[in-house]
Chains A and B, each alone.
Chain A
């Protein structure tokens, strides 16, 4: 069983729709949760990060973490064609020395104009 599970998609939604992306994980030691956006043939770009459980909002993006369920989500409101990319969830344990990120497989998202 992988430590982090993510539906690879592909996911296609019409422009303006709300997008929901999710990951589940098995290791309760993860404390930091991140979402990266990766355009084709580019490096990942950090979108959101959350420490422990809770919600965090930044513009059209909202990240949610439910540690009791080991489930994290990223919501994109008013989706735009420019949001079309692969979205990767990533997680990290707490503490100096625990620098390694564990990634999900990524979800390919296409926003249809």
Chain B
């Protein structure tokens, strides 16, 4: 099946610094990628929809200036957490839609990235 790769899997950063997480579709093209946040024992919370070549669409309550999303190519989207604070510590997961397939069964998830801000 299709593979979505996230990097890094684990990252620890200091408060006030920025950290970038990459999401790559390895064997398909993805015009649309999604970024989620997941707290322990909770479901996935959609943060934003990343659109190749255009601005991301953010969900209500998500700070655009804090969570910068760039989707520069059909296989890569990045999430940058700027001026990170301990409350930003979370599990961040991306997903991507295989645009070459029919609807429904074509959204694949990455393995997730654990961010700890100290």
Q: A and B from one assembly? A: yes
- Asked if B104 and A49 sit within 8 Å, CB to CB, the answer is yes
- Asked if A100 and B111 sit within 8 Å, CB to CB, the answer is no
In the complex, identify which listed stretch (B11-19, B41-49, B62-70) lies at the interface while the others stay far away. B41-49
Bound Cα distance from A105 to B41, whole angstroms: 9
Tell me, rounded to whole Å, the shortest Cβ–Cβ distance linking B79 to chain A: 14
> Which residue from chain A places its CB closest to the CB of B42 in the assembled complex?
A105
In the complex, identify which listed stretch (A12-20, A35-43, A66-74, A76-84) lies at the interface while the others stay far away. A35-43
Contact of B104 among A34, A45, A88, A105 (CB under 8 A): A34
Known: A46-B105, A94-B103, A99-B32. A106 touches B112 (CB 8 A): no
Total count of chain B residues near the partner, CB < 8 A: 25
> Which residue from chain A places its CB closest to the CB of B51 in the assembled complex?
A99
Interface size class of A (residues with CB under 8 A): 20 to 34
The verdict on B71 contacting chain A, using a C-beta distance below 8 Å, is no
> Which residue from chain A places its CB closest to the CB of B104 in the assembled complex?
A32
| Interface residues as binary, B66-104 with A (CB distance below 8 Å gives 1, 0 otherwise) | 000000000000000000000000010101010000011
- Asked if B32 and A51 sit within 8 Å, CB to CB, the answer is no
Chain B interface helix/strand/loop/mixed: strand
Tell me, rounded to whole Å, the shortest Cβ–Cβ distance linking B36 to chain A: 9
Contact of A103 among B32, B43, B112, B114 (CB under 8 A): B43
The verdict on A112 contacting chain B, using a C-beta distance below 8 Å, is no
Known: A32-B104, A99-B49, A100-B34. A41 touches B44 (CB 8 A): no
Q: Return chain B residues, CB-CB under 8 Å to A41.
A: 91, 112, 114
Tell me, rounded to whole Å, the shortest Cβ–Cβ distance linking B86 to chain A: 19
Known: A51-B104, A100-B46, A105-B42. A43 touches B97 (CB 8 A): no
- Seen from chain A, the residues whose Cβ lies within 8 Å of a Cβ on chain B are 8, 32, 34, 36, 41-46, 49, 51, 88, 92, 94, 99-101, 103-106, 108
